């Protein structure tokens, strides 16, 4: 069976390594020596033909990856914005954010079965479910998934997952979906700050600037509604959700490292099992205490609940496994693009007021998010690009000066014979 070399962390695809095209660019082919009656081709022609062939192969692979990237961006944007809007619509008839969180998290159980279906369809050496399960369980250690490992390495992430989604959904009840989606983008800034403090990641000044922009955007977003208690609570809930998401990602990298696709699918399915076994009691308690109460099960909008769960499952699948077909940066762009989509929907369906402060806050947070997408060696690349442009400009200036200088000389050379005559 072919093993995937790329490794991902659930809900942190944006921090995964970029898959390069080294196999295409550095592909080596056996060279056939020319026969005795054949004349060897010129070296320049052979090198040019091989280079053009390799460039064509490389560009074809890159175009394919970019095509998949556009598809992934559209899928991430539509699924994230759609789930947010559908959750807002669901609360009009079913005011139970924790029950909705529990119901949607149960669908995580489908991650590993869906992965195994893909394994059977794509892999040349097919394994049984038990064999594939045992191989993926090595991610938790030599003993596999034991009861101790389940409570020490899976249960805490199940709690963080539930808190992230519950706080996000509860915030949708307080503020509009545009503010919720743009404020949740601050989780990437929180990931950088926690990684810098806890994981001792490389310090980058541009990312500190991005974190400052994110915090400034949060303050401005709060000021946009005049610091009313209703909006302040909603914004605090979104910031709490983004913080839980960042803590989830950093702790996963600290305690578990990175995971292959099968291991990540198994881990997310385990979170679904944990939710079914240990979180189910909470919606029951909330129902009987009438904190989240509905008169009859016939009044529950099952279509909205299932639609929200499917969209959220699709979003998590693409976010965690989209790195197999495209660049992780493009998936992050899809999250940013969901903000204007939610803004357009809110403009026509709610009474949101896009005043100057709110628009500036959205732009600042979006700019900070995009700055966080810059690679670690972006400054080196920028210096090389500026150096190349400077050298090219000097060469063009020198060539222009040489052409201007050669013009009068040629005219003088042509004029001298006529004067001699």
Confidence at 225, pLDDT banded by 50, 70, 90: confident
Residue 350 dihedral angles phi and psi, to the nearest 5°: -135, 180
**Residue 405, pLDDT score:** 54
Angle at 150 between CA 147 and CA 153, to 5 degrees: 140
Nearest in space to 85 (alpha carbons), one of 210, 172, 215, 183 = 172
Cα–Cα distance measured from residue 86 to residue 311, given in angstroms and rounded to the nearest whole number? 9
- Surface-to-core class of residue 343, CB atoms within 10 Å of its CB (0-12 exposed, 13-18 middle, 19+ buried): buried
- Surface-to-core class of residue 340, CB atoms within 10 Å of its CB (0-12 exposed, 13-18 middle, 19+ buried): middle
Give per-residue pLDDT as tens, 177-206. 998 999 998 888 898 888 888 888 777 777
Q: Does the pTM exceed 0.85?
A: no
Cα–Cα distance measured from residue 292 to residue 96, given in angstroms and rounded to the nearest whole number? 5
Give per-residue pLDDT as tens, 84-121. 999 999 998 899 999 999 999 999 999 999 999 988 88
**Residue 16, pLDDT score:** 35
Of 18-32, 138-152, 388-402, which gets the smallest average pLDDT?
Answer: 18-32
Cα–Cα distance measured from residue 71 to residue 334, given in angstroms and rounded to the nearest whole number? 10
Question: How far is CA 208 from its chain centroid?
Answer: 20
For all residues of the chain together, what is the average pLDDT?
78
Cα–Cα distance measured from residue 316 to residue 303, given in angstroms and rounded to the nearest whole number? 20
Q: What are the extents of the domains in the chain?
A: 71-380
**Residue 66, pLDDT score:** 78
**Residue 421, pLDDT score:** 38
Give per-residue pLDDT as tens, 306-332. 999 999 999 999 988 887 777 777 778
Give per-residue pLDDT as tens, 245-296. 999 999 999 888 888 888 999 999 999 999 999 999 999 999 999 899 888 8
Q: What percent of the chain has pLDDT over 90?
A: 32
**Which residue stretches of 325-377 are H helix?**
328-349, 356-372
Residue with tokens 């040489």: 402
Phi-psi region of 184 (alpha: psi -120 to 50; beta: other; left: phi over 0): alpha
Residue 268 dihedral angles phi and psi, to the nearest 5°: -70, -35
Identify any residues that bridge with 259 across adjacent strands, giving them in sequence order.
8
| 308 neighbors 168 (Cβ within 8 angstroms) | no
Residue 8 dihedral angles phi and psi, to the nearest 5°: -130, 160
190, 101, 7, 79 alpha-carbon torsion, rounded to 10°: -90
Identify any residues that bridge with 8 across adjacent strands, giving them in sequence order.
259
- Asked if residue 413 has pLDDT above 70, the reply is no
Report the SS3 class of residue 190. Answer: helix
């Amino acid at each position: 069976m072919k093993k995937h070399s790329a490794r991902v962390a659930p809900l942190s695809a944006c921090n995964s390594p970029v898959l390069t095209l080294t196999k295409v660019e550095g592909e080596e082919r056996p060279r056939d020596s020319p026969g005795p009656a054949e004349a060897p081709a010129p070296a320049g022609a052979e090198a040019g033909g091989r280079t053009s062939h390799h460039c064509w192969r490389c560009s074809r692979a890159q175009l394919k990856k970019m095509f998949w990237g556009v598809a992934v961006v559209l899928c991430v944007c539509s699924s994230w914005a759609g789930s947010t809007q559908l959750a807002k619509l669901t609360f009009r008839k079913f005011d139970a954010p924790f029950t909705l969180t529990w119901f949607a998290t149960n669908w995580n159980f489908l991650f590993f079965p869906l992965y195994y279906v893909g394994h059977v369809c794509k892999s040349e050496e097919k394994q049984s479910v038990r064999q594939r399960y045992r191989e993926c369980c090595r991610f938790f250690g030599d003993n596999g998934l034991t009861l101790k490992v389940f409570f020490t390495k899976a249960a805490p992430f199940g709690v963080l997952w539930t808190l992230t989604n519950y706080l996000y959904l509860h915030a949708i009840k307080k503020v509009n979906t545009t503010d919720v989606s743009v404020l949740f983008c601050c989780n990437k800034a929180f990931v950088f700050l926690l990684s810098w403090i806890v994981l001792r990641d490389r310090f980058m000044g541009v990312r500190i600037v991005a974190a400052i922009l994110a915090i400034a955007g949060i303050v401005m977003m709060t000021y946009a509604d005049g610091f009313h208690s209703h909006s302040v609570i909603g914004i605090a809930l979104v910031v709490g959700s983004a913080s839980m998401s960042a803590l989830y990602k950093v702790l996963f990298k600290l305690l578990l490292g990175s995971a292959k696709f099968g291991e990540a699918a198994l881990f997310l399915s385990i979170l679904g099992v944990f939710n079914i076994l240990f979180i189910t009691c909470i919606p029951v308690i909330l129902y009987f205490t009438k904190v989240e109460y509905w008169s009859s099960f016939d009044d529950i909008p099952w279509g909205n609940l299932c639609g929200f769960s499917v969209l959220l499952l699709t979003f998590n699948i693409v976010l965690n496994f989209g790195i197999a077909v495209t660049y992780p940066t493009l998936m992050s762009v899809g999250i940013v693009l969901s903000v204007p989509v939610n803004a357009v929907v809110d403009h026509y369906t709610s009474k949101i007021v896009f005043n100057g402060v709110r628009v500036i806050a959205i732009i600042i947070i979006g700019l900070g998010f995009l700055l966080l997408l810059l690679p670690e060696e972006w400054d080196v690349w920028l210096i090389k690009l500026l150096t190349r442009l400077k050298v090219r400009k000097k060469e063009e200036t020198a060539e222009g000066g040489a052409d201007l200088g050669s013009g009068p000389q040629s005219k003088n050379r042509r004029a001298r014979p006529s004067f001699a005559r």
